[in-house]
Structure 1
Amino acid sequence: MKSSPIRTATGLVLVALTAFSGLPAQAAQLVRVGAAHFPPYTIRPENGADTGLLPELVEALNALQKEYQFVLVPTSIPRRFGDLKEGRTDMAIFENPEWGWKDIPHTTVDMGLEDAEIFVAQREEGRQQDYFSDLKGKRLALYSGYHYEFANFNADPKFLADTFKATLTYSHDSNLLMVLRGRADIALVTRSYLFDYLKRNEKVADKLLVSQRIDQVYHHYSILRPAAPITGEAFGKLLQELRDNGQMLKIFEPYKIALVPVPQH
């Protein structure tokens, strides 16, 4: 029976005590991966649903080897820092060291993955790419808590509302709907999420104008706590194996998440 990567605390203990067949005296080391709602990477992990790119990556990591058992532990965008620092999780994936980790002891592993934040508007006759070049006077729909380059990474809600007429939500779907219904002029959306959204909502594809302008590029890293059961070097090797066997491309290419070279040290 295929096991779910999202488990209760009791399930985590059981897994830790369970030895793999063929290795009766040696249990796999449990590696707890923080799972915060960040579609399409992780989708409502607190509901126990194995959906999103993170569960797919965890499944591929577990299928690759028997030394480590990766499991997902639900957390949240604000809480993930404390969970890693206090040892409730061992690792955060699809992160960047610039996103608030500087005061938390950690090791980084370059995942060789890049995504981007792009602008989306309603398609109208005569509207071209230059519509995105100047944001002044335009009503923006933004994701609460995100740090945007156009705003100098200032995520303060009042600043964004006052300076950019911004409405902040916790849903890319809601922001795109605001654009489609004329309640916002421009939404900023993660490129991978937009491609997933358009696959689920093919009828609106011709109603949206997608910018060639990129607000920022997300270069993804894994963040490991110093006492994690797996070292950064060992995890980097597992990612390289998934890259070599084609699993990384299979998981991420459909979402237009680019595989880029990882610097060799």
Structure 2
Amino acid sequence: MTFSPMGMTSRVLLAALAVFLALPVEAAQLVRIGAAHFPPYTVRPENGADTGLLPQMVEALNQSQSDYQFVLVPTSIPRRFNDFKQGRVDMAIFENPEWGWQDVPHTSVDMGLEDAEVFVAQRQPDRQQTYFADLRGKRLALFSGYHYAFAEFNADPKFLAGQYNATLTYSHDSNLLMVLRGRADIALVTRSYLNDYVLRNPEVGPQLLVSERIDQVYHHYALIRPQAPISSEAFAQLLQTLRDNGQLLKIFQPYQIQLVPTHSH
């Protein structure tokens, strides 16, 4: 039997190549982002809807790199704290550390995005901006689970109903309709949502008086669980990439959500 060094080398190389091809390509780290109904950021995620700004941002994050695969996990405004603490989600996004997260271990990433909560009333001939100065004696329509500055961020439904004559719903649309139909005096709505609502319902714009008074500015943060597969530094870098390539502006500018300089929290 003749021995061929060349043949032996080829077989060794082929065997090595076969082993290499059989090895799994390093899989992207799976990062689960909690998706709670918070329009226009997230819209009815439990129904499998992929509308809203969060799905757009996740798509941009996934397309910009291959180290992490971001997926949305439906949760709810009240349930999101437990889902985060128990590890069902790795990140909560479009959040503020002061919205009930004080006792939940996390690191925060300033997203450099700002929205605002404004007061909305029915436009009437004698009604001016002074109408929003005093909320006493007025019927408020609020979003259940939200933390409002005028109520010192106390989201307890009984407190809001007792102190502020508030009706709580899970729909900004319902709250605006209550104002338009005279069933509530003032609704509090995120500026981004109001902008989207008036674009969808142009006949409504002239019927609404929007406050110059802002209840609070939403300076958005991403909150990351200590055991998450992504660090706050790595996520901040991914956001910076989307900021640099214009993706963040493209997603958020149509909703009047401002891109602002980030600052450490």
- Tell me if both proteins adopt one fold, taking TM over 0.5 as the criterion: yes
* Matched AA of 1:85: K
Partner of 1:177: 177
Residue 138 (structure 1) shift: 1.2
After superposition, give the CA deviation of every residue in 1:32-89 in whole Å (9 maximum; x if it has no partner): 1111111111011111111100000000000101111101011111111111111111
TM-score (norm 1): 0.89
Q: Distance in 2 between matches of 1:159 and 1:48?
A: 33
Pairwise CA distance, 1:245: 0.5
Tell me which amino acid in the other structure corresponds to 1:165.
N
Aligned to 1:247: 247
**Structure 2 residue identity aligned to 1:123:** R
CA offset digits 1:1-58 (Å, max 9, x no partner) = xxxxxxxxxxxxxxxxxxxxxx962111111111111111101111111110000000
Q: Does 1:118 align with 2:118?
A: yes
- Whether 1:61 and 2:61 are equivalent positions in the alignment is yes
Contact kept in structure 1, 2:120 and 2:188, CA below 8 Å: yes
Shift of 1:155: 2.0
User: How many pairs align?
Assistant: 243
1:39 is aligned to 39
Matched residue, 2:9: none
Counterpart residue type for residue 46 of structure 1: E
Tell me the distance in 2 between the aligned counterparts of 1:35 and 1:201. 26
Shift of 1:159: 2.3
Consecutive unaligned residues of structure 1, counting only runs of 5 or more, are 1-22
Q: Does 1:108 align with 2:108?
A: yes
**1: CA distance, partners of 2:89 / 2:167:** 32
Once the two structures are TM-superposed, the CA of residue 166 in structure 1 deviates from its matched residue by: 1.3
Give the AA of the match of 1:182. Answer: G
Structural RMSD (CA): 1.4
SS at the partner of 1:38? coil
Off by >4 Å, runs of 4+ in structure 1: none
Single out whichever of 80-89 and 33-42 deviates more from structure 2: 80-89
For 1:204, the equivalent position in structure 2 comes to 204
| Number of the residue aligned with 1:29 | 29
The aligned residue for residue 12 of structure 1 is none
Question: Identity across aligned pairs (percent)?
Answer: 77
Partner of 1:150: 150
Q: What letter is aligned with 2:65?
A: Q
The answer to whether the Cα contact below 8 Å between 2:99 and 2:153 also exists between their aligned partners in 1 is: no
Question: Counterparts of 1:46 and 1:72 in 2: how far apart (Å)?
Answer: 10
Could you tell me which runs of 5 or more consecutive residues in structure 2 were left unpaired when the two chains were aligned.
1-22
Q: Which moved more, 1:188-197 or 1:148-157?
A: 148-157
1:134 CA drift (Å): 1.3
1-structure distance, mates of 2:225, 2:177: 39
> Is 1:166 aligned with 2:166?
yes
Q: 2:85: which partner in 1?
A: 85
Instruction: Give 1:217's aligned residue.
Output: 217
Q: Structure 2 length as normaliser, TM-score?
A: 0.89
Per-residue deviation, residues 104-132 of structure 1 (Å, max 9, x unmatched):
21111110111111000001112111111
Q: Which amino acid aligns with 1:60?
A: A
**Partner AA of 1:171 in structure 2:** S
* In structure 2, distance between residues paired with 1:107 and 1:92: 11
Asked if 1 retains the 8 angstrom alpha-carbon contact of 2:115 and 2:191, the reply is: yes
Q: Following the alignment from structure 2 to structure 1, what is the Cα–Cα distance between the partners of residues 151 and 83? A: 28
- SS in structure 2 opposite 1:196? helix
Measure the CA separation in 1 of the matches of 2:218 and 2:123. 26
Most deviating of 49-58 and 101-110: 101-110
